[in-house]
Amino acid sequence: MSPETALSLKDVSYTYPGSETPALKRINLTVAKGEIVFVTGPTGAGKTTLALAASGILYHDYGGTLKGQVSILGRNVRDYRDMSEIGRHLGVVFDDADAQLIFTTVEEEVASGLENLGLSRDEMRRRLQEVMESTGITALADRAPHTLSGGQKQRVAIAATLALGTEILILDEPTAELDTEATAAVSTVLQRLAREGTAVLVVEQKIGELAAIADRMIIIEDGTIVADGTPGQVMRNERAPSTPLTGNRRMIPRCSDASPIISVHGLVHRYDGIEAVAGIDFEVSPGEIVAVVGENGSGKTTLIKHFNGLLRPTDGSVIVAGLDAATTPISELARHVGLVFQNPDTMLFADTVEEEVAFGLENIYPGASGERIEAALHEVGLLHRRTVYPRSLSRGERQRLAIACVIAMKPDVIVLDEPTTGLDARESGRVMEILERLREEGHAIVMVTHDMRVGATCADRIVRLKQGKIVQDGETYQEDTCPRLCSMSPGRAPFTGSTLSPN
Note the residues at the interface with other proteins (CB under 8 A).
57, 61, 82-84, 86-88, 90-92, 94, 96, 98-105, 108, 111-121, 124-125, 128, 142, 144-146, 160-161, 164, 305, 308, 310, 330-331, 334-335, 337-339, 341, 345-349, 359-360, 363-364, 391, 405-406, 409
Nearest-approach distance from CB 121 to other proteins, in angstroms: 6
The residue among 310 and 375 lying less far from other proteins, judged by its C-beta, is 310
The residue among 268 and 368 lying less far from other proteins, judged by its C-beta, is 368
Nearest-approach distance from CB 368 to other proteins, in angstroms: 12
Residue type, 97: A
Interior angle at CA 297, CA 164 and CA 497, nearest 5: 75
Question: What does the DSSP assignment read for 38-63?
Answer: EEE-STTSSHHHHHHHHTTHIIIII-
* Bridge partner residues of 465 (DSSP): 470
Nearest-approach distance from CB 64 to other proteins, in angstroms: 13
Nearest-approach distance from CB 477 to other proteins, in angstroms: 28
Ramachandran quadrant class, 64 (left: phi over 0; alpha: psi -120 to 50; beta: rest) = left
Nearest-approach distance from CB 345 to other proteins, in angstroms: 6
Instruction: Spell out the residues 6+ positions from residue 252 whose beta carbon is closer than 8 angstroms to its own.
Output: 287, 439, 440
Phi, psi of 192, deg, nearest 5:
-65, -45
Strand order across the beta sheet in which 461-466 lies: 337-340, 413-417, 444-449, 289-293, 461-466, 469-474
CB of 256 within 8 A of CB of 307?
A: no
The residue among 5 and 103 lying less far from other proteins, judged by its C-beta, is 103
Strand order across the beta sheet in which 274-284 lies: 274-284, 262-271, 315-320, 323-324
Nearest-approach distance from CB 188 to other proteins, in angstroms: 24
CB of 339 within 8 A of CB of 445?
A: no
Nearest-approach distance from CB 134 to other proteins, in angstroms: 19
CB of 313 within 8 A of CB of 326?
A: yes
CB of 135 within 8 A of CB of 158?
A: yes
d(CA 201, CA 235): 18
Nearest-approach distance from CB 307 to other proteins, in angstroms: 10
The residue among 153 and 461 lying less far from other proteins, judged by its C-beta, is 153
Question: What does the DSSP assignment read for 480-496?
Answer: ----GGGGG-SS--SS-
The residue among 413 and 488 lying less far from other proteins, judged by its C-beta, is 413
